[in-house]
Amino acid sequence: MAVLLWAPPYVDKPGFLGIVWTSVMLSLAFLPLRFYARWVTQRKLFLDDALVIVAWLSSLAISIMYTVLSKSAFVVVYWGAGLGPPVPENFSKHTEHFYEGFTSSLMIFYTSLWCIKFSFLIFFRRLTPVTLRSLHWHWWIVTAITAASYFACYATLPYRCTLGGFAIMRTPECTQTKGPSYVSMKVNCALDVFTDCLIVSIPVNIVWRTTLTLRQRLGLMGVFSLVLVTIVFAIVRAAVTTTTTSGVSNQMDPIWAELWTSLEMNIAIIVACVGSFRTLFTHDRRTKASRSSKPSKPSRTTAPTEDEIEEIILENRNTADEVDSGPRESTTSLASDPRPTGELKGHDYIK
């Protein structure tokens, strides 16, 4: 070939497909655990659960796409590294087919990743007292920025160099050192990490603005810090795919990028499931303890679970109402109602 674009691939075809399908099956194993834990603790599913399903279906679609395109992908990369035989007549078709799939997979990837982000946002929305206007606006600002970042990721993709045809793909514009794909990866990684940090700021603000004990604050932040795992993987993905590529033109290795894309996407799905999975064990522990001891207020030895988090926030709404709106008619909470749970009516619950 006239221009060598990449170094030899860091992983062969069987290893690539093995890692991709292992990660997608591992994330699938966590989905029923999430839904079971949510049903046991809250007896219903929410919109954020549906978004996690969409994220996993997107991951499945990408894995199928990688499998179908793997032949063309390795043909293109091996020839691009100067390892293949003389360029065959259908090399241009292989190249166009591969890059079309590569671009489509990135578009699906961002949809999957942002579904996880919005699932966290919707969950935090349920914990945000609507009477605290600053928290209300904080949530909306973060949500708007996250939505705008999603479309910005699409805008930065190098469509001309990946969908413009084989002749354009070989131009200096697309084969230059640290070309459009390289820049797109860096920019979108920055948007990914930035929006994750904004999302984490919401529970931090909730914890700061509500009256919780130090142990409860630390427990809540421990649950919400799971988002940090996705931040770490986003940084690792960008760093590995843009710094370990040592081809002649220092282009981003597409096979390596696809592999880390699959890993980050499925790790994000697993992280979204881990919080709910943890509530199942703590819920069972509390249930067994209540059956084997007299009714009493147990001491807190573990971080609060998701349903307890909502109860804690809801219990603080009366205080927030008094601060923001002054005295109003007293509302009896579920925890202080002397009647048995079975006698409570729908209007007795705090909405």
Which amino acid belongs to residue 120? Answer: F
Q: What is the pTM of this model?
A: 0.74
What angle is formed at CA 238 by the lines to CA 52 and CA 166, rounded to 5 degrees? 95
Establish if 306 belongs to a structural domain: no
Alpha carbons 113 and 115: distance in angstroms, whole number? 5
Establish if 242 belongs to a structural domain: yes
CB atoms closer than 10 angstroms to residue 328: 9
Tell me, what's the pLDDT at 33? 83
Establish if 324 belongs to a structural domain: no
Establish if 152 belongs to a structural domain: yes
Tell me, what's the pLDDT at 263? 92
- 243 by Cβ neighbours in 10 Å (0-12 / 13-18 / 19+) ranks as exposed
* Placement of tokens 């200096």 in the chain: 172
What angle is formed at CA 156 by the lines to CA 151 and CA 161, rounded to 5 degrees? 135
Taking a C-beta distance cutoff of 8 angstroms, is the pair 202, 220 a contact?
Answer: no
Alpha carbons 31 and 49: distance in angstroms, whole number? 9
Please list, in sequence order, all residues whose beta carbon lies within 8 angstroms of the beta carbon of residue 289, skipping any fewer than 6 positions away. Answer: 298
CA neighbor of 98 nearest in space, from 5, 25, 192: 5
Domain containing 248 equals 13-284
Q: What CATH number has the domain bearing residue 157?
A: 1.20.1070
**What separation in angstroms does the CA of 147 have from each of 109, 111, 121, 192?**
15, 11, 11, 11
| Number of structural domains found in the chain | 1
Establish if 3 belongs to a structural domain: no
Establish if 344 belongs to a structural domain: no
Establish if 110 belongs to a structural domain: yes
Alpha carbons 100 and 166: distance in angstroms, whole number? 11
Establish if 347 belongs to a structural domain: no
| Residuewise pLDDT in 10s, the chain (351 residues) | 444 556 677 788 899 999 999 999 999 999 888 888 778 777 777 788 899 999 999 999 999 999 998 888 887 777 777 676 666 677 778 788 888 888 899 999 999 999 999 998 988 887 766 667 778 888 999 999 999 999 999 998 888 887 877 777 777 777 666 667 778 888 898 999 999 999 888 888 877 777 766 766 776 676 677 778 888 888 888 877 766 554 444 556 788 888 989 999 999 999 888 866 544 444 444 444 444 444 444 444 444 445 555 555 555 554 444 444 444 444 444 344 444 444 444 334 333
